[in-house]
Amino acid sequence: MLFTAGCKKQERGGPSELRIATQPAPLFCPIFVAKQMHWLENDLKAKAVTIKWSSFVAGPPENESFLAGQQDVGVLGDTPAIIARSAGLRSRIIATSATGPRALALIARKDSTINSATDLRGHKVAVTKGSYAHHLLYIILKNAGLTPADITIIHLPPADLVLAFNKGDVDAAATWEPFLGRIELDGARRIADGTGIKQGVLVVIAMDEFAKEHPDLIEEVLRAYQRGYDFIKQYPQKAAELITSEVKVPPEQLEKLFAVFDFNPAITPGIIQELKVTEGFLRNNEISKGQVDIDTFIDASYLAKIGL
C-alpha cells in the first residue's frame, strides 16, 4: 500500500521542510559535504525552508520511508531505486550520485582455492539480494560460463555478509565500499570487480509530486551536490576530514576512495544504458515487481536548468 503524505506545507502553499534521505556510505560523499557545510540550510533560509536529514543502513529501509511518504529527495543505488519504482513508488531519477566500477567486487578468502571466477563452482558466495553487487555477481558468473545454479548463493545484509566472510561461513562474497574495503584489509583476494562490465551506478531520486511542485528546491539540491563534488576535487583532504563521521570511514582511507568514484551528477547515455540493463536483470530474476521504463523514470531537466 502506498502512502501519499507530502512534505510539510506553509500557509502560503510552499513547503516548510525539505526531507533528504541518505545512507552512511562513501558512495554519496558530495551530499555529506553539502550537509556538513550547511549549504542548503543557508541557501533556503530566505524561503523559510528547513532541512530534515534522515539516514538509512541500506536501500530497502530507505525505500520503505519513501513509500510511506516520509521523504522528498534521496540518494541510493540503482537497483533499490528501480525496485521501488516497480513497486509503485511515484519517483524519478534526477541525477547520478556516483559511478565506481572498482567500488564493487567479488572477493574470495585468502585461504580458498578460488583464483578466478571459473573456480566458483560448488562454493558458497554471499551477496546482498537486490543490490548492485548482486547484479555484478550474475555478470561475472555469465562471463565465466556459469549460472547461479552452479554456486550456493547466501543472501545477507552488508554487515552480516562481512561477518560471515570473516568467520569462513562463505568462500566468497560480492559487495561494495565501505564493506569491500573492510574485508580486503584482512587480506581477502579480489577476483573481479566492475571494471569493463558494470559502472556501479548510484542515483539521486525525488518524489514526482514534490519535483513537479517545487522545481526550485530540486535545483537547489543539485547545486549543492555539484558544489560538494567540486569541493572534493579541490580539497580532498579537508573533505575527508569533514565527512568521516557521516560515512564511517577513516579520513585517510576515505581520501583514497575519492579516486575510486566519479561523483559527477550528469546522466550520460552510458549510465542510461546501464540502468536499462539493471532493470532487465531485476525483472528477469523476479527481484522487481514489473517492468520499469527507464526513459520515463529519468528526468534530467533539473540538471539542464542549472547547466549540468
List the chain pLDDT tens, one digit each, 308 residues.
Answer: 333 344 555 444 568 999 999 999 999 999 999 999 999 999 999 999 999 999 998 888 999 999 999 999 999 999 999 999 999 999 999 999 999 999 999 999 988 899 999 999 999 999 999 889 999 999 999 999 999 999 999 999 999 999 999 999 999 999 999 899 888 877 799 999 999 999 999 999 999 999 999 999 999 999 999 999 999 999 999 999 999 999 989 999 999 999 999 999 999 999 999 999 999 999 999 999 999 999 999 999 999 999 99
Domains 17-100+199-305 and 102-193 alike in fold: yes
Q: Domain limits of the chain? A: 17-100+199-305, 102-193
Closest CA to 22 of 304, 247, 211, 238: 247
Q: Yes or no: say if 99 and 138 are a contact pair by the CB < 8 Å rule.
A: no
CATH architecture of residue range(s) 17-100+199-305: 3-Layer(aba) Sandwich (3.40)
**CATH code for residues 102-193:** 3.40.190.10
Report how far residue 233's alpha carbon sits from residue 244's, in angstroms, rounded to the nearest whole number.
Answer: 16
State pTM to two decimals.
0.90
